[in-house]
Amino acid sequence: LEEQLRQSQKMEAIGQLAGGVAHDFNNILTAIIGFGNLAKMKMKPDDPQQVLIDHILASSDRAAHLTHSLLAFSRKQVLLPKPVDLNAIVQNVGKLLSRLIGEDIELIPRLTGQGLIVMADEGQIEQVLMNLATNARDAMPGGGSLTIATEAKELGADFMSSHGYGKAGKYALMTVSDTGRGMDAKTRERIFEPFFTTKAPEKGTGLGLSMVYGIIKQHEGFINVYSEPGKGTTFRIYLPMVAKATTEARAEPEPLPRGGH
Ligand code: ADP
């Protein structure tokens, strides 16, 4: 537990730092992009120097992408949460994931439980799945399988305190596992840190799992990883389920009392 606490304090501190830098840097980028566009507008359309500005703008775009990822990690992004069915999200993004992982990797959905309703930003949960699938693909260069399973879980106070997690209650559990190369303990400890990567610089930024971590935290959920070299990797993501009454109230608002003078 002490180890877990230290880990989460470390992530908190890095998050604060990264969020602050990303926020300020974003403002600077806005100026660069704005003045870049203005400079382009002031040039004659056939000016050969236009291409220089285009390089500046393209690089700024990449930088904006990085700051966006960092903001997701430090939980400084705006979420649009609404009650959504987790299985529906997995199904909707399935095609995209299949294309992402390629033909040599089989995507196996194991969606159980009905009405796995969570309060979530659908786009962000899709982002989580895409990031996990990208890593799974990179861990299985010779092919394999990627399984995405869902189920409802009642988590008791004992479980929560022994893991250093949040409130006990009903959670939707999403398990994402691959049959890839796995990781050793040293790698496993650092995977959620921003900029930690074991990939070649042009292949990895080290921000994928940081984003995942931040997004899940912002949803008041939690994530853990089981992995061993040669044995594949399993990520478990818990998202708090919405109490049934809440979703029904949202879906079918009580009719207002009628008549009566
Ligand atoms: P990136 O993918 O850019 O390296 P991530 O934050 O997504 O950044 O991942 C960090 C590191 O975690 C990866 O470089 C890799 O070493 C390890 N990793 C993540 N997912 C897996 C996986 N499914 N199997 C093996 N290693 C993984």
Q: Work out which ligand 1 atom sits closest to the CA atom of 192.
A: 6
Assign 260 to helix, strand or coil.
coil
Q: Work out which ligand 1 atom sits closest to the CA atom of 205.
A: 3
Whole-number percent of the chain with pLDDT over 70: 93
Q: Measured in angstroms, how far is the CA atom of residue 196 from the centroid of ligand 1?
A: 8
Looking at residue 225, its pLDDT comes to 96
Residue 51: burial class (beta carbons within 10 Å; 0-12, 13-18, 19+): exposed
What angle (nearest 5°) sits at the alpha carbon of residue 129, between those of residues 123 and 133? 145
Per-position b or e across 185-195, b if 16+ CB within 10 A of its CB: eeebebbbbbe
Q: Work out which ligand 1 atom sits closest to the CA atom of 207.
A: 6
Quote the CA–CA distance of 160 and 111 in Å, as a whole number.
24
Mutate to test the pocket of ligand 1, among 209, 215, 236 (most ligand atoms within 8 A of CB): 209
Looking at residue 162, its pLDDT comes to 79
Asked if 144 and 105 count as a contact pair (C-beta separation under 8 A), the reply is yes
Residue of minimum CA distance from atom 25 in ligand 1: 182
Joined together, the tokens standing for residue 252 give 């079918």
Instruction: Find out whether the beta carbon of 231 lies less than 6 Å from any atom of ligand 1.
Output: no
Q: Which position has the token pair 């900029």?
A: 195
Q: For the segment 153-211, what is each residue's pLDDT rounded down to a tens digit? A: 998 888 888 777 778 899 999 999 999 999 999 999 999 999 999 999 888 889 999 99
Mean pLDDT of 127-146: 97
Looking at residue 248, its pLDDT comes to 46
Q: Work out the number of other CB atoms within 10 angstroms of the CB of residue 113.
A: 15
Q: Measured in angstroms, how far is the CA atom of residue 73 from the centroid of ligand 1?
A: 15
Q: Measured in angstroms, how far is the CA atom of residue 44 from the centroid of ligand 1?
A: 46
Quote the CA–CA distance of 93 and 87 in Å, as a whole number.
10
Q: Is the pLDDT of residue 255 over 90?
A: no
Instruction: Find out whether the beta carbon of 233 lies less than 6 Å from any atom of ligand 1.
Output: yes
Quote the CA–CA distance of 261 and 258 in Å, as a whole number.
10
Q: Is the pLDDT of residue 62 over 80?
A: yes
Of the ranges 2-6, 121-125, 198-202, which one carries the lowest mean pLDDT score?
Answer: 2-6
Backbone angles phi, psi at 195, to 5 degrees: 75, 5
Q: For the segment 66-114, what is each residue's pLDDT rounded down to a tens digit? A: 999 999 889 888 899 999 999 999 999 999 999 999 999 999 999 997 8
Joined together, the tokens standing for residue 160 give 């929560």
Most confident of 17-26, 121-130, 198-207, 239-248: 121-130
Q: Is the pLDDT of residue 40 over 60?
A: yes
Closest by CA position to 139, among listed 233, 228, 209 = 233
Sequence-ordered list of residues with C-beta below 8 angstroms from that of 208, at least 6 positions apart, any chain: 69, 131, 134, 135
Mutate to test the pocket of ligand 1, among 131, 189, 197 (most ligand atoms within 8 A of CB): 197
Mean pLDDT of 120-130: 96
First vs last Cα of the chain: how many Å apart? 63
Quote the CA–CA distance of 25 and 62 in Å, as a whole number.
13
Instruction: Find out whether the beta carbon of 195 lies less than 6 Å from any atom of ligand 1.
Output: no
Q: Measured in angstroms, how far is the CA atom of residue 194 from the centroid of ligand 1?
A: 11
Q: Is the pLDDT of residue 8 over 70?
A: yes
Looking at residue 244, its pLDDT comes to 61
Q: Is the pLDDT of residue 249 over 50?
A: no
What angle (nearest 5°) sits at the alpha carbon of residue 208, between those of residues 206 and 213? 110
Joined together, the tokens standing for residue 169 give 């209650």
Looking at residue 2, its pLDDT comes to 74
Quote the CA–CA distance of 26 and 67 in Å, as a whole number.
7
Of the ranges 43-47, 86-90, 241-245, which one carries the lowest mean pLDDT score?
Answer: 241-245
Quote the CA–CA distance of 77 and 156 in Å, as a whole number.
30
